[in-house]
Amino acid sequence: MERESVVLATLVVYKIVLIAIGFWASKRTNTSEDFFIGGKTLGPWVAATSSSASASSAWSLLGVSGAAFTMGLPALWLFPAVVLGYTFNWLWIAPRIRKLGNETGAITLPSLIAGHGQYRKPIIYACTFIVVFSFAFYIAAQFQAAGGTFATTFAIDASQAIILGTVIILIYTLLGGFWAVSLTDTLQGLLMAATSLILPIAALIAVGGVSSLIEQLPETLASNQLTVAGEHTGIAAIGFVIGLLGVGLGNCGQPHVVNRFMALKDDNAVRVGKYIGIAWPIIVIGGMLILGLCGRVLLSEVSDNEQVLFGVTSMLFPPVIAGIFIAAVLSAIMSTADSQLLVSASSLSHDLSTNSSQTRQLLVSRLTVAGMCVISLVIALFAPEAIFSRVLFAWAALGSAFGPVLIVLLSGYQIKGSFRLAAILMGFFLTVAFNWMENTPGDVLERVAPFFIALGIAWAGRQSLSKSSG
């Protein structure tokens, strides 16, 4: 059987399973709380694996392996950056945000950080704009990744491939909401972890082991790819390293990630989930970095560095096995899009709603999911960009807008409404402004400066819990 036939057959079976999950989950989705946060009943395996999958997907599999292939050793800084971000989330954010969410009754991150008083509505409006703007580009990157893989595998038009992937995601997200997204992300997260174990091990064996890889890398990498700071020296080198480590800062401000923590059913789910949630990035990010470096030795050249995973897979495995791997990865890289569609819908339909009925909220939510799909599809089709850079921009914008305020709130303080709003807007718009400017080493200005400026503003506006936040 040809590889294309295997991929197609595997995809058909896999997508039938996803849509079946959507139908099953639709029976458990009766209220907006069910649709957006699963009734706050997630267990540790579903919460940990689905939050990890939704946080990474196309970026971790294709972007990280491609970055290692292109950058060489400097890309290794992504490992501590991402792992430390996940660790902070599970050890510090998760138990606190679950408690605060239960106390306040909030089911979305914007509603949690908006507080009360005269600034609540402006903060909600600002958060909604930031979520929709950032996720439009973030989701487009997932559609683009899936479409590019479809196009490469089946030799079909990329536009048709992107549309196909979009329709599949739309169906099961509309049907089951949070439950469908969480369960499908769990399945996809496990596939990603398995792929990130098997492929790097096979690639290391192919190059002759770790010692052989170390010996051969100098023959395939340029001199500036063999140092931890790349082409940078002095202060620029320090900025480059801080910039890459700054990738982890955004983790605590991702609505689609922390939403899983708010949905945990009890303290035991937090305790068990942290081990799964921290192990996942160690396996996936570490595996993809190794795969990208092995790709430098195994592949003479690739037309697109973000397709190096598929190049190595096709080289090392027979068509049938390679086809199954490609199909699994192709399905897995869609997992971020569904979660972000759901968060976008929650911001527009739930956070902005005014005492509408549960039925009406669910209808508006599903219409919002469809609308966001169309917007992101247009961006993916007509404004393509590298997955790595597009995701990191959206990641930094969301992290700098929401992370600092959330950290201060979870530290046991309230924040004056004006300072909340200022911190959120400053974190977001500074990220956008620095993104438009000429790149600094490691994009340190874009990834680090807005976060700490926003954190300073939020900290300056802190109050004791006995005082009003308005």
Report all structural domains of the chain as residue ranges with CATH numbers, in order of start. Answer: 3-386 (1.20.1730.10)
Q: Which two tokens mark 346?
A: 């929650």
Collect all residues with Cβ–Cβ distance below 8 Å to 214 and sequence separation of at least 6: none
pLDDT tens across 94-115, in order? 999 999 988 888 878 888 999 8
Find the angle CA(336)-CA(239)-CA(67) to the nearest 5 degrees: 40
pLDDT tens across 27-39, in order? 655 555 554 454 4
pTM, full prediction? 0.85
pLDDT tens across 140-172, in order? 887 887 777 777 777 777 788 778 777 877 776
Where b means 16+ CB within 10 Å and e means fewer, 440-449 reads bbbbbbbbbb
Mean pLDDT across the chain, nearest whole number?
82
**pLDDT exceeds cutoff 70 at 468:** no
Query: What is d(CA 282, CA 397) in angstroms, rounded to the nearest whole number?
Result: 24
* Residue 309, CA distances (Å) to 68, 136, 200, 295, 302 in order: 11, 26, 10, 8, 10
pLDDT tens across 169-217, in order? 777 666 555 555 666 667 777 888 888 999 999 999 999 999 999 999 9
**pLDDT exceeds cutoff 70 at 332:** no
Q: Nearest to residue 79, comparing CAs of 290, 317, 295, 263? A: 290
Q: What is the mean pLDDT of residues 283-300?
A: 94
Collect all residues with Cβ–Cβ distance below 8 Å to 346 and sequence separation of at least 6: 36, 107, 108, 365
How remote is the C-alpha of 136 from its chain's centroid? 13
pLDDT band per the 50, 70, 90 thresholds, residue 339: low
**pLDDT exceeds cutoff 60 at 302:** yes
Question: 228 and 74 in contact (C-beta within 8 Å)?
Answer: yes
pLDDT band per the 50, 70, 90 thresholds, residue 425: very high
Residues of the chain with pLDDT > 90, as a percent, come to 38
